[in-house]
A and B are shown apart, each in its own frame.
Chain A
């Protein structure tokens, strides 16, 4: 069994998770990564996606996050999410609203850079929708 480390998932509203875990899969801005104990210090932005937490007790929990940061040090990992919900509690209408907003953003983007950013965000959201909401 792998060694456990401290993982914290924090959203502006509250502290969602603070416990000993075995591994965490984080949707980093430049690709997914699995964090285990004694990971090299990394700081990364995260894109909208699913965080999979494997607790020390062996349970697997999944959370949906919408952007944020991960601060990884050998002793632990802190994930600052802009907004986070457990996959079981996700609200379809809320997700649909976010997608709608992203679509509008992409439509009114002024320059190419902003448009490509908005479109990227939109595609991340739609992938996310596909991943967590089996039709």
Chain B
């Protein structure tokens, strides 16, 4: 049985923890709003980019001059996975959710006899995947120093991926991130970025653009400029969604932690009061029985 002093100390320490989790929750809530705004502000660009891409794909018609980034290498042997996670923990199952999703995917690919390479964006995913697949991780991108995610960050990652593709180090590139559905639900998502999803793009074009476009310079040339940019945009969107998701997950995790701390304080207080009462009663009994003995 812990002494009264022990209980007092525990209550004080739980209270201190509660203060911290409460503060973290509020910080996450503020950051979540900012991250959500950023994600929303970036949406028009990626939507328009999709429309333009669909339009131009139709113009090129998937002919021989479509760039390799779009058609792929024609093989399906080496897979590059870009796994985006958060830089920090304390956000519930957010990071492990993405990592688990990626791991399942890796296992499936390995079972099919494919070769897998991994680029980790974010420290947490790296820490988790390192345990099982350390030899496959070819690069680790650190965004810890970055205060506000800019397009340049995403562009740098996309450029690295494209550079690897040009060297012929992989055939298929898939992006792993967490789609921000709501504060309490983030869905781990895999999105193939190389070769770009042509099929869906041309389907979208069928109902939109029937105008005859003039192209300056040639469609193929525009396309070869557009595709790398589209990859940057996709990466950027993934990073933004991830940032919003991380903050959402952190907020709900910290909210839970704060509530748990509250429950714990209540329980400890009851034990504390009960024990104090028991001690008082015991002392009274001692005095009374002492007086009666006289």
Contact = CB atoms under 8 A, between A and B. Distances in A.
A41 B48 contact: no
A13 B55 contact: no
Contacts, number: 78
A67 to B, nearest CB: 9
A80 B48 CA distance: 8
A11 B45 contact: yes
B225 interface: yes
B222 A69 contact: yes
Contacts of A28: 216
Contact of B41 (A15, A44, A73): A15
Contact of A12 (B42, B214, B226): B42
A19 interface: no
A43 B215 contact: yes
Contact of A80 (B49, B150, B213): B49
A40 interface: yes
A29 interface: yes
A45 B52 CA distance: 12
A42 B45 contact: no
A41 B41 contact: no
Grouping DSSP codes into helix (H, G, I), strand (E, B) and loop, the B interface class, with mixed when no group exceeds half, is helix
Most chain A Cβ neighbours within 10 Å, of B42, B154, B233: B42
Interface string A1-36: 000000010111111000000000000111000000
Interface string B203-214: 000000001111
Contacts of B213: 41-43
Contacts of B44: 8, 10, 14-15
Contacts of B46: 12
B151 A83 contact: yes
B15 interface: no
Interface in B183-215: 211-215
Interface in B226-260: 226, 229, 232-233, 236
A71 interface: yes
B52 A80 contact: yes
Nearest to B148: A13
Contacts of A42: 213-216
B265 interface: no
B48 A44 contact: no
Given A42-B216, A43-B216, A45-B217, A14 B52 contact: no
Interface of B: 38, 41-42, 44-46, 48-49, 51-52, 55-56, 150-151, 154, 211-217, 219, 221-222, 225-226, 229, 232-233, 236
Given A12-B151, A12-B154, 13 more contacts: A10-B45, A11-B45, A12-B42, A13-B38, A13-B150, A15-B45, A40-B214, A41-B214, A44-B216, A71-B48, A78-B48, A80-B45, A82-B229
19 contacts: A10-B45, A12-B46, A12-B151, A12-B236, A13-B41, A13-B150, A28-B216, A30-B217, A41-B214, A42-B216, A43-B213, A43-B219, A44-B217, A69-B52, A69-B222, A71-B51, A80-B45, A80-B48, A80-B52
